[in-house]
Amino acid sequence: MSTTRLPFIALACLAVATSAPAALALDDERYDKATAAIDRAIEYLRDNQNDDGSWSPEPGGPAITAMIVLAMIDRPDISDTDPAVDRAIDFILSHVQDDGGIYDRILANYNTAICLSTLSELTHRDGIPEVVAGAQDHLRSLQWTAGDTDPQGNPIDESHPFYGGVGYGTHGRPDLSNVQVMVQALYDSGVDCDDPAYQRAVAFISRLQGHEANDMFDEGVIERDGGFIYATSVDSDNVGLPQSMANPDQIERARQGLPVSGLRSYGSMTYAGFKSYLYANLEPDDPRVRDALSWIKLNYTLEQNPGMPEPIHLHGLYYYYHTFARAMHAWGQPTIETADGEQRHWANDLIDHLAELQNDDGSWTNEADRWMEADPNLTTAYALLALTYALR
């Protein structure tokens, strides 16, 4: 089996993950199944790499390429000198901007964060440590902090719905998806968990969770089930009216300035919030961690993005698989007890499920075309990284 490779800060900063790694729960059959699926997927990606070293560069930028590189260099027989990997790294580095970000005009936080996670594994290469440091600083600069001013001209303080968050645009409306990739990148690149950026992020994330200590939204706005919604504000014109992608019927209502209620939590954001808490070194007995874990136990499934209503239950499915795997790996337990009292080996379940979903050509695709998951390069990257963390 492959050796475990963790960011060097992990053991100092991640107090929760103290038990045996998930890989110890794998039997030979699952290990062989996972590695075979990974090999087939990498062969597919090699056949579909662009001449400039990228995968799916438009409109998203270098992020998908960076995810694929991260999955490839985790394999014991692939190094950063592999021609396909080397070309892809050059493509990523060609997007380093003067402000330290790594992006192409748009999605600065999303692209920079994902590229930073990958480049943090490549600091032995000339010039990359400087790129890593610049990207870390750029991510910090995008976070809403005290002293900023929101789009309405109101000052940001610790009570503001934007505080601690980061969004897709240049200092745009913040959301949990962007915050979780930022936190993940800071963690992957070795930023100490005492860094104020983590603490601000936790303040934002806590306001998206359905728990009793939520200091922003009263009971009835977000279901008090321990799970997470998407954003504290539906857009920059409606600050403080929260949004859940599991309640599409209420998004237009919020945009009209009307109150929303009963916002449902869902899987991809709940695992994102849970993982971010762990990377920020919250204690396992912190009520927010316990409540998130309770939601995960009660809603354990790989058949859909849990919490999403039936018409859209497959939206963001492969994003969910990737986030699920990283969160469970961070938790450090090879099994989890589900609502019916059954002990599930999450990595075994994930490997079995993804192997079943893999296409004959080695790719993965999502029949629900939402959030770019109709792009097989993106969904294959998500699945590859999910399998990577199942094997660690």
C-alpha 118: how far from its chain's center? 13
Upper half-sphere CA count for residue 126 (Cβ side, 13 Å) = 0
pLDDT, one tens digit per residue, over 93-105 is 999 999 999 999 8
Helix, strand, coil percent values for the chain (each to nearest 5): 45, 5, 50
Residue segments in the chain with a per-residue pLDDT below the cut of 50: 1-12, 15-16, 18-20
pLDDT, one tens digit per residue, over 246-277 is 999 998 888 888 888 999 999 999 999 999 99
State residue 60's pLDDT score: 75
State residue 216's pLDDT score: 93
d(CA 367, CA 361): 16
DSSP state of 308: S
State residue 368's pLDDT score: 87
State residue 171's pLDDT score: 62
Max Cα–Cα distance, the chain, nearest Å? 59
C-alpha 43: how far from its chain's center? 25
State residue 6's pLDDT score: 38
Pairing mode, strands 335-337 and 343-345: antiparallel
CB 217 within 8 A of CB 204: no
DSSP state of 343: E
Closest CA to 368 of 298, 268, 292: 268
State residue 252's pLDDT score: 87
State residue 1's pLDDT score: 31
Q: Which two tokens stand for residue 24?
A: 């110890």
d(CA 8, CA 94): 26
Q: At what angle do helices 128-142 and 108-119 cross, to 10 degrees?
A: 150
